[in-house]
Chain A
């Protein structure tokens, strides 16, 4: 059936291509195909994309073989939002990474194309270009370029194949021109999954904090201050003495990203005690499944907390619904396992202190990021 449609399409294309010719059918069909594929008439003039980051953010490390260009980022945005990347054209990356959810889907676990639920919660893509120590909750992939290839063929996610997507991209009315402008390809035939992934990665690197969060304004702009409750929360958040929250043991503020990018067990899963063999009981082994080391079972990457109020529910399994629940979890000290992190220990917390921590976390809200027109769906 599919093959049938394909051949009709191919025939139509040949027909269209030969129609364009004015010279009365002098060329062979092959030549005509070539000229239809040829993109060299379109100007290739790449302009560097200027990444603007808030004050005191580190410089993002961009791979030298994929510099960000204006056309590259724009192509990436189209691909990110285009259901052309899924088997039945119903889903795109943005189905699970929506701007309104800080580029998550606000579900406990993501639901894929065939209505099948995955086992993990979608991750915010805010500042994702800064995470060099391994992507995903378990760090199994290193670069955004590598990562972008995976959802397309993931059975639970977009569930199609790259060869199919490549055919659709070559056939598209818009993409050949966009690939030409982004990467200087000379013919449609040069459209590959690798270029698509590069463009998506460029778009993802453009998803940085706006600098308009109250926290950033208070840091960077004269005359803006945190209010007393928020300040109290900030002090609690960074207060690393025992019997205090000490969130900055892991959600580090130095590089402004509120993570140290390490993989730890922060005690959200009850495996039945601290004996080593209980480490087999993690329903999701996380880093352990990647390294094969039992002591890595149940370790997940410390996520950034920027714009955290907008990406509920929380944790890799979406098991905590609200920030209040998250704070209660930490205050309880969580569940002990053989490898639970020593920096997660119980601490007393008054209602006032809880409100303060929450108020501080809300200073990281970044509406300007979510509403940035440059990040929105181009097909809307």
Chain B
């Protein structure tokens, strides 16, 4: 009986290997997963939680989400060889304090097979790249990330690349009142605001055949508010004056949107 199954196995193997001759050998591959985690000032970020924006103005967020695009592994530091992992995806880091496990785990985008090898860097785009931004949600089926009508703004002919929403206690009365105009709706978009960042881990990313690697990107929401343009930072604290600029909708405020998207570079760190 033993012998028989052994023979059978041998035969199967033989047949299988002879089949291989016609089909190209599959490239050796390992799995890569990418996890996005939200922080606020270095701590795990939660929606619906009061944070100090400035010393005398607390802020409470209700939404923090963004598109990521053109994520690829770079074989050399000069980024000549790219292995694409993800063309476009949508990351929603809006977890509240009833969802601590989810918030701490972050959002993981599915595993992708890449050839085994040593990679030096990781490129990540924030927003919707220009070619995809020429399309709109109507072009996609309801399961597609780009079908989100909530993240398209017709007046801009653009996807909304990122939404940061919340409410700031502007009058300092201890209440967060959208009915008093304290709401915060920072919506970023248009081609000019698309941002790419290349991250170099301290040691190279080694992908083994059949191995599996998880790369974690921490994104600090507070850093997104860094504001070097004086006009939008009259207080001179290097933060956007959200009490005055609580939206990003006019043409002049497009500069704010641009800066906030650019800040994704600084705000993102590889674990």
Which residues of A come within 8 Å of B, CB atoms? 56, 58, 61, 132-133, 238, 240-243, 246, 248-250, 252-255, 257, 259-262, 267, 273-274, 276, 293-295, 332-336, 338-346
Min C-beta distance of B144 to chain A, whole Å = 11
B193 sits at the interface (CB 8 A): no
Decide if the interface of chain B is mainly helix, strand, loop or mixed.
mixed
The 0/1 profile, CB within 8 Å of A marked 1, for residues 185-197 of chain B is: 1010000000000
Query: Do residues A342 and B185 form an inter-chain contact, with CB atoms below 8 A?
Result: yes
B175 sits at the interface (CB 8 A): yes
Bound together, the chains give a CA A129 to CA B48 distance in angstroms of 34
Q: Which of A241, A254, A335 contacts B179 (CB 8 A)?
A: A335
7 A-B pairs (CB sep. < 8 Å): A254-B138, A267-B178, A294-B98, A295-B47, A336-B179, A338-B60, A346-B181
Looking at B13-21, B121-129, B242-250, the stretch in contact with chain A turns out to be: B242-250
Query: Do residues A345 and B48 form an inter-chain contact, with CB atoms below 8 A?
Result: no
Most buried by B among A260, A295, A338: A295
Given A293-B98, A295-B98, A343-B185, the answer on whether A336 and B180 have CB atoms closer than 8 Å is yes
**Within 8 Å CB of A339, what residues of B?**
48, 62
B167 sits at the interface (CB 8 A): yes
Min C-beta distance of A296 to chain B, whole Å = 9
Query: Do residues B249 and A241 form an inter-chain contact, with CB atoms below 8 A?
Result: yes
B38 sits at the interface (CB 8 A): no
Bound together, the chains give a CA A242 to CA B244 distance in angstroms of 10
B212 sits at the interface (CB 8 A): no
Query: Do residues A334 and B149 form an inter-chain contact, with CB atoms below 8 A?
Result: no
Given A132-B142, A249-B185, A338-B176, the answer on whether A254 and B165 have CB atoms closer than 8 Å is no
Min C-beta distance of A184 to chain B, whole Å = 28
B30 sits at the interface (CB 8 A): no
Query: Do residues B137 and A241 form an inter-chain contact, with CB atoms below 8 A?
Result: no
Query: Do residues B138 and A332 form an inter-chain contact, with CB atoms below 8 A?
Result: no
Which residues of B come within 8 Å of A, CB atoms? 47-48, 60, 62-63, 96, 98-99, 136-138, 141-142, 148-150, 152-155, 165-167, 175-181, 183-185, 187, 246-247, 249-250
Q: Which residue of B lies closest to A293 (CB)?
A: B98
Query: Do residues A336 and B177 form an inter-chain contact, with CB atoms below 8 A?
Result: yes
Min C-beta distance of A66 to chain B, whole Å = 16
**Within 8 Å CB of A240, what residues of B?**
153, 155, 187, 247, 249
Bound together, the chains give a CA A346 to CA B177 distance in angstroms of 10
**Within 8 Å CB of A338, what residues of B?**
48, 60, 176
Most buried by B among A243, A336, A346: A336
Most buried by B among A58, A61, A248, A250: A58
Q: Which residue of B lies closest to A275 (CB)?
A: B175
**Within 8 Å CB of B136, what residues of A?**
254
**Within 8 Å CB of B138, what residues of A?**
56, 58, 254-255
Bound together, the chains give a CA A343 to CA B98 distance in angstroms of 23
Query: Do residues A255 and B180 form an inter-chain contact, with CB atoms below 8 A?
Result: no
**Within 8 Å CB of B247, what residues of A?**
240-242
Bound together, the chains give a CA A346 to CA B178 distance in angstroms of 8
Q: Which residue of B lies closest to A260 (CB)?
A: B150
**Within 8 Å CB of A241, what residues of B?**
247, 249-250
Q: Which of A248, A267, A332, A346 contacts B154 (CB 8 A)?
A: A248
**Within 8 Å CB of A61, what residues of B?**
141-142
Q: Which of B96, B155, B175, B178 contacts A344 (CB 8 A)?
A: B178
Query: Do residues B141 and A345 form an inter-chain contact, with CB atoms below 8 A?
Result: no
**Within 8 Å CB of A344, what residues of B?**
178, 183
| Given A248-B153, A274-B176, 9 other A-B residues pairs in contact with their CB atoms under 8 A | A242-B185, A250-B150, A252-B150, A260-B148, A293-B96, A333-B178, A336-B178, A338-B176, A342-B178
**Within 8 Å CB of A262, what residues of B?**
150
Q: Which residue of B lies closest to A131 (CB)?
A: B142
Bound together, the chains give a CA A335 to CA B175 distance in angstroms of 12
Min C-beta distance of A341 to chain B, whole Å = 7
Query: Do residues B47 and A342 form an inter-chain contact, with CB atoms below 8 A?
Result: no
Query: Do residues B177 and A274 form an inter-chain contact, with CB atoms below 8 A?
Result: yes
**Within 8 Å CB of B246, what residues of A?**
242
Closest 5 CB pairs of A and B: A342-B183, A260-B150, A333-B179, A336-B177, A342-B165
Q: Which residue of A lies closest to B47 (CB)?
A: A295
Query: Do residues A260 and B149 form an inter-chain contact, with CB atoms below 8 A?
Result: yes
Query: Do residues B176 and A254 form an inter-chain contact, with CB atoms below 8 A?
Result: no
Bound together, the chains give a CA A91 to CA B153 distance in angstroms of 43
**Within 8 Å CB of A267, what residues of B?**
178-179
Q: Which residue of A lies closest to B246 (CB)?
A: A242
Min C-beta distance of B37 to chain A, whole Å = 20
**Within 8 Å CB of B150, what residues of A?**
250, 252, 260-262
**Within 8 Å CB of B149, what residues of A?**
252, 254-255, 257, 259-261
Min C-beta distance of B190 to chain A, whole Å = 14
Most buried by A among B137, B155, B178, B179: B178
Bound together, the chains give a CA A344 to CA B48 distance in angstroms of 17
Q: Which residue of B lies closest to A235 (CB)?
A: B155
Bound together, the chains give a CA A332 to CA B153 distance in angstroms of 24
